[in-house]
Structures are given as structure tokens and as C-alpha cells.
Amino acid sequence: MHIVAIDGPAGSGKSSVSKACAKALDFGYLDTGAAYRALTYAILNLGLEVANRSAEEIKANFDYSISLDPQDYWVRVGELDVTYEIRNPSVGEVVSQFAGLPEVRRYMFTLTRELVLASGLTGVIVEGRDITTKVFPEAKTRILLTASEEVRLGRRSAELPEGTIVADQVTKRDQNDSKVVDFLMPAEGVILVDSSELDFDQTVSAVIELVVNK
């Protein structure tokens, strides 16, 4: 299986770039941030508790599923489709708080590896914050996708509802998240792709080239 690990900060474009690359390569696509967001959604709306819970207890109480098909992306908690709800700023504002809990991260580590390794796909693009360094350090292709803060703020403001304080959703969240995992500097063996000066198609092409040349 060709695993492509892609990390990067909020607004780096890694979700849309990863999805487009997966479609072009006929690979699966796994958005690992969706699990942190769905967990946060379940805490806020469905009474899920994670404080003082072990990774095993979290697993037993959180019925999570996600599609790895880049043509048909969905996220579910139990029978509930939360694909769009997890993008809500109310989730984005507090997700880092739960993503910083060691047992949550231990649960996510196992979940992510299982989802990918049990998929039976020939290739999967896995994107997040700690994929190149912690979850799949053995991935065949490892990329850190970045862009300048100005470019990232601009891209996110186009996605979020009008009136949202974008800096809170991007800069502050990155500050919080990067206390837990370093996704701002490429680790040894990780290729840096800076998309500040590239448009979407150029970024997709740059990533595809790295994958096919492996």
C-alpha cells in the first residue's frame, strides 16, 4: 500500500489538495481532522465524555465512521451524518482543547492506523497534523504542506461564514495545536511544499509529482 502522509497548518489547503490528488491517483483519502471534529461535536451535542477516560473507553463510547472515498466524502457518529456540522465555527473554536488530551490522541492514533491499514486500498492519502511524524512515519511519501499566514487567512475566510473572526479559527488554533505536535517545520525526510505562490492546480500537480516519483 502506498501511504501518502500530508501534514500542515489550518488553511494550508491540505484537505482540498489531498482530496484532488486522491481522485487523480485513484487513491483513498483520509481526513484525520474530521475525527477530532466529530469527537468535539459529540462532546458538545451528544453528551460524550472524554475527560479522565482512557483511549479504550473513548473508543467504546464513540461510534465513529468516515468514508475514504474522495468521490463520496461523509462523516458519521452512529447513524448521524455530521459531515457539514463538524465544519461549524462552534466546533473549530474548541477542537484544540480536546485534541490536546493524551488519551484522545492515543485513541486517534489507533483509529487512523486501523482505518488505513484495514481499507485494502492500493494507496491512501492521509492528511492531518501528526501523520508524517507520529501516525505513519513509515509512509512512502511524506509531505508538509504550508503557505504564508496571510495566504492561509485569506483562504479560510473564503470558507467560513461571514462575520467569523478568521484569525481565531486559524492563527490561534495553530498556536494551540502546535503545542502538542509540530507541524510547522518538516521533520527529517519530510518534503516541504510551500503553496504561497502556487494556485490550487499547481499545488495538486506538485504533490502528484512527488507521489508518482516515489
Give residues in contact with ligand DC (CB under 6 A): 10, 32-33, 36-37, 95-96, 99, 128-131, 173, 177
Residue 119: CB minimum distance to ligand DC, A: 17
The answer to whether 2 touches 141, Cβ cutoff 8 Å, is: yes
- Coil vs helix vs strand at 209: helix
Q: What is the identity of the amino acid at 79? A: E
Question: CB 212 → ligand DC: shortest distance, Å?
Answer: 24
Sheet holding 80-81, edge to edge: 64-66, 75-77, 80-81
The least CB distance from residue 81 to ligand DC, in Å, is 17
Residue 6 or 206 having the CB closest to ligand DC = 6
Q: At closest approach, how far in Å is the CB of 127 from ligand DC?
A: 7
Give 104-173 as a DSSP string.
Answer: HHHHHHHHHHHHHHTS--SEEEEEESSIIIII-TT-SEEEEEE--HHHHHHHHHHHSPTT--HHIIIIIH
Residue closer to ligand DC, measured from CB, 10 or 48 = 10
Q: Are 63 and 78 in contact (CB under 8 A)?
A: yes
Q: In sequence order, what are the residues at sequence separation of 6 or more whose Cβ sits closer than 8 angstroms to the Cβ of residue 107?
A: 55, 56, 58, 59, 62
Q: How far is the CB of 24 from ligand DC (least distance, A)?
A: 21
Name beta bridge partners: 193: 145
Identity of the residue, 10 or 121, whose beta carbon is nearer to ligand DC in the bound complex? 10
Least distance CB 129 / ligand DC (angstroms): 4
Using the minimum distance from each CB to ligand DC, give the nearer residue, 153 or 212.
153
Q: CB nearer to ligand DC: give 10 or 82.
A: 10
Residue 161 vs 213, nearer CB to ligand DC: 161
